[in-house]
Structure 1
Amino acid sequence: MTLHVSPQLPMRIIRRGLTSHRPLRRGLNTSPASHQNRRPSLAILDDYLNTSAPHFAHIPPSQLQITTFNDTIVPVTDAAQDRLVERLRPFDLISTVRERTAFPGTLLRRLPNLKMLLATGTQFEMFDLAAARELGILVVAAPGLGRGGQLRQSIKKGAFHPTTQHAWALILALARNVAADDAVMKAGGWQSELATNLSGKTLGVVGLGRLGAAVARVAHLAWGMRVVCWSENLTQRRADEMAVSVGLSVDGRVQGGKTFEAVSKEELFRGADVVSLHYVLSNRSRGIVGTRELGQMKPSALLVNTSRGPLIDQEALEDTLEHVRGGGLGIGVEMDVLFFSRRRIWDMLNVS
């Protein structure tokens, strides 16, 4: 079978998902006889906006059988896991939409027909790449192009990136008690908490890459916030370079201070009024925000994660939310499905 790829979806093979020196154990049979007997089948998952069809329209139905699923099965119970397996078992290829459906080894081993996983993105934390390699399942990325409006720019991480906008949407929603006041008023009540004025407050950026710098830039220009930053190898020189990269001067508004101040991890969590996570997820950074860091935060502090869910120790987070009054949590990423299944988390008014 020849898989035709839309030029709008450039693909690259992730070699961690397949060793380069052995054939694909589950490889598609491309002999003429196999084509006569059965068309390869593709499942497109979680396409809740029906955006995938144009990208596959040029492939003749005689060459590839495509089934699109608009809903998402969240495998929080054994029964739900079985439904997901039953849905996916017949397919040779599966294309995901972002990271809504995870593919741990336990799921991959229950899909004997699967030969290829297509990912619409460049992050693979939801895929068990070691299991894919073991099973001979090819993993392919499609970085794609963003929706840049009239500018039509590639969504390189930075000021125009949707994540930058979403991070600030969550920060403002928490600071102004939007979700909490909305819930209270819909229940027949009235405003019961004072909003947080961000002017002059401190933003702590965990991970000062292009996204972190873009979020920090807004804090500096719009609200006059002090910006402190931390990552494992961040130096003040690098923080200065990132300030310049987003059009800011090196020296901040506070006399003798820096626009982006490189500080220790402890200083960031103890001093920040808002903590925004923009760290790359890896084995080293998994759980980088745990009981200690959450305990160091001010009771009134806001924590926003638009990077990767597992950066936060979820048990520690749940315990903190249940026992600390004030502050707030904004989640704009996939967390563990069990975390989302705990209804009491979403009953807390300080969670968005």
Structure 2
Amino acid sequence: MASHREISVAILDDYPGIAPKHFARLPGIKIDSFPDTLHAATESGIAALANRLEPYQVISTMRERTAFPALLLQQLPNLKLLMTTGARNASISLEAASSHHVIVTGTTGTNSPSHEENYSISDLPPPAAAGSVNQHAWALLLSLCSRIPRDDAALRSEPGAWQSGLAIPLGGKTIGVVGLGKLGTQMARTAALAFGMSVIAWSENLTQAKVDAAAEGAGFAKGAWRAVGKEELFREADVVSVHLVLSERSQGIVGARELGWMKPSALLVNTSRGGLVDEEALLEVVRGGGIRGVALDVFWEEPLPEDSVWRRREGFKSEVVLSPHMGYANAGTMNRWYEEQAENLERWMKGAELVCRIN
């Protein structure tokens, strides 16, 4: 519970600058925004973060942009409330937060409940952000197939540029979905409905029964989609789309071997997490033209460093389309997340029960 003195709030990593308007309505708070991300991967990074954040009682952060390991949390003696987004945040040490009496809360992306009970995130319907991720995955893939970024740049900068290459048709081809959860199922459903693509899927524990259930839930007949082995997926698919949660087990799950299995004409799409794909292996494939193209919304370090090879694209023989982790960053979801944070901060200031507690 907050005292009556002015409460200091730090807003981290709000790149489009939309958070302050949601917090500004609350009396008795002082807001500072820090849109430039500092990383906690090194001791010097943690020291810089601790120096920046030490005065604040409340921190608003966006999931996985700034990490809060134990070493950082122990250097923030004034911190009482750490607000993140989503139902979980693997980059926050919840054990350390609890030991230092820091409350960690999340968001759902749903509308406000009609009462202020302390409810569980699992009791709430999923946020609409899932559709946004699917939309963006297809925007990337279609831009790659239709050469839109390359042709747009050529038309603007090269006099006389016109039809310097050919588009890639998707109709009737095969999409290989790595991870058939909610987002993977949406990707598969769009592929089948919009383009008549065949759907195959793989993950470590995926069975045909689970694939049938996903297909039937998406409006398709049992057996319409196939569960296959990992090698079969990468060898057979014309498009491989990655939809896994990043963990120690899934880190680098798409490596040199898997990329080597892909057809020279195949495309790879990653809108999940950069760490799922071995970056050096992918760079080698892209430089050598081992596959037709790559579409990436996620990277191994975010924001993408100024000197990143992905920005320079020197020597790339495969077609490459990039976006700055925009899959979830739509106006509706982002504004609702910050609105939920402001609502929780107001509850905390009043000494009321908080919602979406994570620790």
When residues 131 and 270 of structure 1 are mapped into structure 2, their CA distance, relative to the original with a 3 A threshold, is: farther
Provide the residue aligned with 1:287 in structure 2. 252
- 1: distance between equivalents of 2:87 and 2:168? 36
- 1: distance between equivalents of 2:303 and 2:287? 16
* Contact 1:158-1:164 at 8 Å conserved across structures: no
* Contact 2:69-2:93 at 8 Å conserved across structures: yes
* Contact 2:188-2:199 at 8 Å conserved across structures: yes
Residues 161-172 of structure 1 aligned to structure 2 (within 5 Å): 161-172=131-142
Provide the residue aligned with 2:83 in structure 1. 118
- 2: distance between equivalents of 1:216 and 1:131? 39
- 2: distance between equivalents of 1:293 and 1:72? 35
Structure 1 gaps of 5+ residues are 3-34, 147-153, 251-257
Deviation at 1:267, TM superposition (A): 0.7
In structure 2, the residue corresponding to 1:213 is in which secondary structure? helix
Residues 91-106 of structure 1 aligned to structure 2 (within 5 Å): 91-105=56-70
Residues 252-263 of structure 1 aligned to structure 2 (within 5 Å): 258-263=223-228
Provide the residue aligned with 1:41 in structure 2. 8
- 1: distance between equivalents of 2:129 and 2:33? 33
- 1: distance between equivalents of 2:57 and 2:289? 48
- 2: distance between equivalents of 1:190 and 1:128? 53
- 2: distance between equivalents of 1:132 and 1:191? 56
- Residue identity in the other structure for 1:228: I
Deviation at 1:236, TM superposition (A): 0.9
- Residue identity in the other structure for 2:37: I
Q: Identity over the aligned pairs, expressed in percent? A: 46
In structure 2, the residue corresponding to 1:94 is in which secondary structure? strand
When residues 134 and 351 of structure 1 are mapped into structure 2, their CA distance, relative to the original with a 3 A threshold, is: farther
Deviation at 1:268, TM superposition (A): 0.7
Provide the residue aligned with 1:223 in structure 2. 195
Answer with 312-321 or 260-269: which moved more.
Answer: 312-321
Deviation at 1:126, TM superposition (A): 3.4
- 2: distance between equivalents of 1:299 and 1:74? 39
In structure 2, the residue corresponding to 1:69 is in which secondary structure? strand
In structure 1, the residue corresponding to 2:55 is in which secondary structure? coil
- 2: distance between equivalents of 1:317 and 1:285? 16
Provide the residue aligned with 2:146 in structure 1. 176
Provide the residue aligned with 1:298 in structure 2. 263
In structure 1, the residue corresponding to 2:13 is in which secondary structure? coil
Instruction: Establish whether residue 186 from structure 1 lines up as the match of residue 186 from structure 2.
Output: no
Greater RCO between the two (CA within 8 Å, min separation 6)?
A: 2
Q: CA RMSD in A?
A: 3.2
- 1: distance between equivalents of 2:228 and 2:61? 38
Matched residue pairs, number?
303
When residues 159 and 101 of structure 1 are mapped into structure 2, their CA distance, relative to the original with a 3 A threshold, is: closer
Provide the residue aligned with 1:71 in structure 2. 35
Structure 2 gaps of 5+ residues are 112-123, 314-318, 323-359
* Contact 2:285-2:291 at 8 Å conserved across structures: no
Provide the residue aligned with 1:347 in structure 2. 312
- Residue identity in the other structure for 1:118: M
Normalization by structure 2: what TM-score? 0.73
1:253-309 Cα offsets, whole Å, 9 max, x none, are: xxxxx3211000111111111111111222211221112112211222211112222
* Contact 1:157-1:211 at 8 Å conserved across structures: no
Provide the residue aligned with 1:332 in structure 2. 297
- Residue identity in the other structure for 1:73: T
* Contact 1:47-1:68 at 8 Å conserved across structures: no
